[in-house]
Amino acid sequence: MRLGVGFIGSGFNARFHMLGWKGVRDADILGVWSPNATNAASAARYARELDVGAAKAYKSITEMVADPAIDAIWINGPNQARIENVEEIVHAITSGKGTLKGIACEKPLGRNVAEAKHLLKLAEKAGILHGYLENQAFAPQITTGHNLLWKRGAATTGRPYLARAAEEHSGPHMPWFWNGALQGGGVLNDMMCHSALVVRQLLTPPGDSLSTLVPKRVTGHIASLKYTRKEYAAQLKKRMGVDYLKTPSEDFASVTIEFETPDGRIAIGEATTSWSFVGPGLRLSVELLGPEYSMKWNSLESGLDLFFSREVKGRAGEDLVEKQNAEVGQMPVVASEAVAYGYEAEDRHFVRAFLGKEPPILTWHDGLDVVRLLMAAYMSAEQGKTVQFPPRGVDTFVPAVAQGTWKPR
Ligand SMILES: NC(=O)c1ccc[n+]([C@@H]2O[C@H](COP(=O)([O-])OP(=O)(O)OC[C@H]3O[C@@H](n4cnc5c(N)ncnc54)[C@H](O)[C@@H]3O)[C@@H](O)[C@H]2O)c1
């Protein structure tokens, strides 16, 4: 049996999933809907060129859900469209226009807890399987290290106690990411979702639910290190149309999460993210430490480096690594990025889950948990102190950055 998949959104992330799809069996990308028909048609053509399905553009989400060829939807629209996208899917199902086996949604599930809870309720109302798309949880270096470390190290000398994760690059590619109200925050909302989940995953035995590790205390920190400097704010205004001197968002965030393990011990997750990192390109890094073992991964230590002398006049591009910052000198290359960052294994898993071959490893419950942790981190950062988890009021909290009232100093 094969799964016919429809995509909502035709941008950067949708195309990353399409690339990863080359390593996915038993499923075809058959549709794309995006508000701009030309972009939808272009993404559908890209899927056909990659030979990952006979994708065509649909005129509406409802039309895509109603097509019996479509069994599942992958949501890759911008954060601010999440609710309207899911409402339309669920309405198409509950009004009898179509049926689906599953619905997979990109991070963040919602821009705050109230939105994430609403989305989870909608999925439950539709009565279909839901998957939370967190690619880094499926990155081969992370899953392989995680499995081996627990199997050999933790099994004989005790569970790990400290996990670190970081995601850093020089800033997002589209204006809406820089708009706190649209996106839901700054880099904390955009990228800490990955790192906060990965540290919890690494500290949890492979195969166990992340909920077995209970967050107890959260300490968050946010700052604007680069883009509120006058020259960079001006650059951003020109490139992205946002006024960072009036409505800034954070380009640096860190969080320390103290978890309680099922045997009553403390384990610590440290995560840091930034849009103010200038290096060759996107850098993902991870460490896991236990009593007699450790693990480390840095995506820019890729094993492949190219060198171009100053005589090489290259055009700006992202052909060596995502969010590439240079075209000359020594540059690491991440070969098969869609594999390295986890998209391929993630999509393979959710296809199998929606075909009923295995339970989804991450659901919208996990997506909601992540949002609650992020909002606790914002609350801690705003209050300048560690908060007990869950902090009072977290379910109705909207970060100052998202309200346009944040003052970096
Ligand atoms: N897992 C990751 O590492 C990762 C990376 C990038 C983005 N994302 C997430 O993926 C989603 C898409 O991000 P992106 O980078 O592709 O952004 P993008 O701006 O490149 O693409 C967004 C797409 O959504 C379409 N769109 C616009 N309005 C819409 C609407 N009302 N409904 C549905 N689609 C609409 C746009 O036309 C565009 O095709 C976001 O939620 C983002 O947080 C995840």
16 located within any domain: yes
Of the pLDDT bands very low, low, confident and very high (cuts 50, 70, 90), residue 186 is very high
124 located within any domain: no
Give the per-residue pLDDT at 346: 98
Nearest CA among 104, 20, 90 for reference residue 353: 104
Same domain (yes/no): 148, 68: no
Q: Measured from the CB, is residue 36 less than 6 Å from ligand 1? A: yes
Q: Measured from the CB, is residue 39 less than 6 Å from ligand 1? A: yes
185 located within any domain: yes
Give the orientation angle of helix 187-202 with respect to helix 364-383, to 10 degrees: 120
DSSP string computed for 314-354: PPP--SSSTT---SSEEEE--SSHHHHTTHHHHHHHHHHHH
What counts of helices (H) and strands (E) characterise the chain?
Answer: 15, 15
Q: Are β-strands 129-133 and 102-106 bridged in parallel, bridged antiparallel, or unpaired?
A: parallel
Give the per-residue pLDDT at 315: 87
CA 56 vs. chain centroid, Å, equals 26
Give the per-residue pLDDT at 283: 97
Residue span of the structural domain in which 236 resides: 137-336+367-403
Mutation test of ligand 1: which of 7, 8, 10, 12 has the most ligand atoms closer than 8 Å to its C-beta? 12
Cα separation, 332 vs 281, whole angstroms: 9
Of the pLDDT bands very low, low, confident and very high (cuts 50, 70, 90), residue 402 is very high
Tell me the per-residue pLDDT of 230-286, one tens digit each, with 9 for 90 and over: 999 999 999 999 999 999 999 999 999 999 999 999 999 999 999 999 999 999 999
Same domain (yes/no): 155, 227: yes
Could you tell me how many residues make up the chain? 409
Give the per-residue pLDDT at 409: 83
CATH number at residue 58: 3.40.50.720
387 located within any domain: yes
DSSP string computed for 204-232: S-TTS-GGGSEEEEEEEEEE-SSTTSHHH
Given a cut of 90, whether residue 314 has pLDDT beyond it is: no
Same domain (yes/no): 222, 303: yes
Distance 321 CA to ligand 1 centre (A): 19
Cα separation, 67 vs 189, whole angstroms: 34
Domain edge (last residue) among 87, 107, 127:
107
182 located within any domain: yes
Cα separation, 205 vs 207, whole angstroms: 6
Same domain (yes/no): 92, 211: no
Q: Measured from the CB, is residue 136 less than 6 Å from ligand 1? A: no
Q: What average pLDDT does range 168-184 have in this prediction?
A: 97
Cα separation, 76 vs 65, whole angstroms: 15
In the block, which residue shows the tokens 């993902």?
284
311 located within any domain: yes
Cα separation, 244 vs 384, whole angstroms: 22
Same domain (yes/no): 23, 101: yes
Same domain (yes/no): 306, 171: yes
Mutation test of ligand 1: which of 17, 34, 344 has the most ligand atoms closer than 8 Å to its C-beta? 34
**164, 198, 322, 347 from 123: Cα distances, Å:** 32, 24, 32, 19
Give the per-residue pLDDT at 53: 98
Cβ contacts of 213 within 8 Å, gap of 6 or more: 200, 203, 204, 259, 260, 261, 262, 267
362 located within any domain: no
Reported pTM: 0.97
Domain edge (last residue) among 107, 125, 149:
107
Into how many domains does the chain fold? 2
Mutation test of ligand 1: which of 7, 10, 13, 240 has the most ligand atoms closer than 8 Å to its C-beta? 13
Cα separation, 396 vs 22, whole angstroms: 41
Tell me the per-residue pLDDT of 355-394, one tens digit each, with 9 for 90 and over: 999 999 999 999 999 999 999 999 999 999 999 999 999 9
270 located within any domain: yes
Tell me the per-residue pLDDT of 23-33, one tens digit each, with 9 for 90 and over: 999 999 999 99
Same domain (yes/no): 281, 148: yes
In the chain, the amino acid numbered 275 is W
Cα separation, 169 vs 299, whole angstroms: 12
Q: What average pLDDT does range 151-156 have in this prediction?
A: 97
Given a cut of 90, whether residue 45 has pLDDT beyond it is: yes
Same domain (yes/no): 164, 270: yes
Cα separation, 347 vs 370, whole angstroms: 20
State the burial class of residue 308 (Cβ atoms within 10 Å of its Cβ: 0-12, 13-18, 19+).
middle
* DSSP code for 381: H
Same domain (yes/no): 76, 190: no
Same domain (yes/no): 50, 164: no
Of the pLDDT bands very low, low, confident and very high (cuts 50, 70, 90), residue 304 is very high
If you average pLDDT over every residue of the chain, what do you get? 97
Same domain (yes/no): 146, 242: yes
Distance 17 CA to ligand 1 centre (A): 12
- Per DSSP (E only), the strands in 117-178 are 129-133, 162-168
CATH number at residue 148: 3.30.360.10
Q: What average pLDDT does range 323-335 have in this prediction?
A: 92
Nearest residue (by CA) to ligand 1, atom 8, is 13
SS3 state of residue 52: coil
SS3 state of residue 244: coil
Sort residue 356 into left (φ over 0), alpha (ψ -120 to 50) or beta. left
Give the per-residue pLDDT at 155: 97
Cα separation, 78 vs 21, whole angstroms: 21
Same domain (yes/no): 26, 153: no
Do 24 and 348 contact (CB within 8 A), yes or no? yes
